[in-house]
Amino acid sequence: MEMISIKSAPEIEKMRAAGRLTAQARKLAGSLVRPGITTMEIDKAVRRFIESHGAKPSFLGLYGFPGSACISVNEVVIHGLPSSRKLQEGDIVSIDVGAYLDGFHGDCAATFPCGEVSEEARKLIDVTRQSFFEGIKNARVGCRVSDVGHGVQQYVESFGFGVVRDFVGHGVGRKLHEAPEVPNFGAAGHGPRFQPGMVIAVEPMVCAGDWHVKNLDGNWTTVSVDGSLAAHYENTILITDGEPELLTVDENGEPA
């Protein structure tokens, strides 16, 4: 079993820098979402931005992934492949990015509206984002990993939406995916206890309908099984002696 990495003060400083760059890449990607742009154009812009800061896109080539960002539209939950697909008015676009800087990764995601979107779509985006913040209320010393997912699930299901079970959050550090796994669902009181210096990515993935998913594109693209809209929100966070610290914040200290 992989050991959970506790980061030292110098390592945390490097993770703050990687997280800031990753959040800036997410912010850039979100600013490009508009009718007529292709997902490939957004992907290329993300890659240029990350590389221009002396970093590498964490996803590029990871497990064979061909892009620098996962760009997932409408019913696509995660791992959408960048392509010549043009965004249309009313789409919702989940963008997941990672940056590898000075030996450490940052990882974050958000779902952005393309022009004017439906009331259901807006609600799904807002609930998914807020579920992250509900979950990390339990990301504190003395709590257990499953307490986070329990908080996410309780909040999401109170709105009648479904939390995806097939994919989970994870530790982050020198590797993009480290221990522990951080589910977005389940009973409280299970899993490792949080300790200061743990760094995890919490990433609710939420469907407007059934939470079950299926894979397309040679097992890359994951879509809702019933074709309902899906949203994704993620930040990398540091466990401290007090409130968790968001590491994937932009130059103004803000998440998406």
The pLDDT of 118-141, averaged and rounded, is 98
Per-residue confidence at 109, pLDDT binned at 50, 70, 90?
Answer: very high
Q: What is the pLDDT of residue 251?
A: 94
Q: Are 108 and 249 in contact (CB under 8 A)?
A: no
Q: Which residues contact 227 (CB under 8 A, 6 or more apart)?
A: 75, 209
- Give the relative orientation of helices 9-32 and 39-52 as an angle to the nearest 10 degrees: 150
Q: What is the pLDDT of residue 179?
A: 98
Q: What is the pLDDT of residue 219?
A: 79
- Asked whether residue 3 carries a pLDDT value surpassing 90, the answer given is yes
Q: What is the pLDDT of residue 111?
A: 99
Residues 88, 92, 37, 66: is their CA dihedral positive or negative? negative
* CA atoms in the 13 A half-sphere facing the CB of 7: 26
Q: Which pLDDT tens digit goes with each residue over 166-224?
A: 999 999 999 999 999 999 999 999 999 999 999 999 999 999 999 999 999 777 899 99
Q: What is the pLDDT of residue 1?
A: 72
Q: Which pLDDT tens digit goes with each residue over 29-42?
A: 999 999 999 999 99
The Cα–Cα gap between 79 and 239 comes to 27
Q: What is the pLDDT of residue 246?
A: 98
Q: What is the pLDDT of residue 220?
A: 87
Q: What is the pLDDT of residue 4?
A: 98
Q: What is the pLDDT of residue 215?
A: 94
The pLDDT of 86-106, averaged and rounded, is 98
Q: What is the pLDDT of residue 218?
A: 74
- Asked whether residue 249 carries a pLDDT value surpassing 80, the answer given is yes
Q: What is the pLDDT of residue 73?
A: 98
Reading across the β-sheet that carries 235-238, which strands appear in turn?
178-182, 169-171, 199-202, 235-238, 245-246
